[in-house]
Amino acid sequence: MARKGVKRSIQVWGCDLEDGTKITNNDEGIVSVIGIGDKSVTVTDINHNERIVEGARWLSYVPRQN
């Protein structure tokens, strides 16, 4: 049974985007990728600056298994 309410964000290894591209933590300057419940993507760079990737909407992601 699915939970109702606000979908939480999840830290992931990478996301496949609607436009066919990918964002991963191995990309140049990116150390963290977060998939948000509204399908947006947030990344953290090597200087610890967190930003929403403009126009990026994820289709699927690889969850972190820590």
Q: Which residues contact 48 (CB under 8 A, 6 or more apart)?
A: none
Read off the pLDDT of residues 14-64 as tens digits, 9 standing for 90 and up. Answer: 999 999 999 999 999 999 999 998 999 999 999 999 999 999 999 999 888
Q: How many CB atoms lie within 10 A of CB 61?
A: 21
Alpha helices, H only, 1-66: none
pTM: 0.80
Distances (CA, A) of 64 to 4, 18, 19, 24, 37: 23, 21, 23, 12, 16
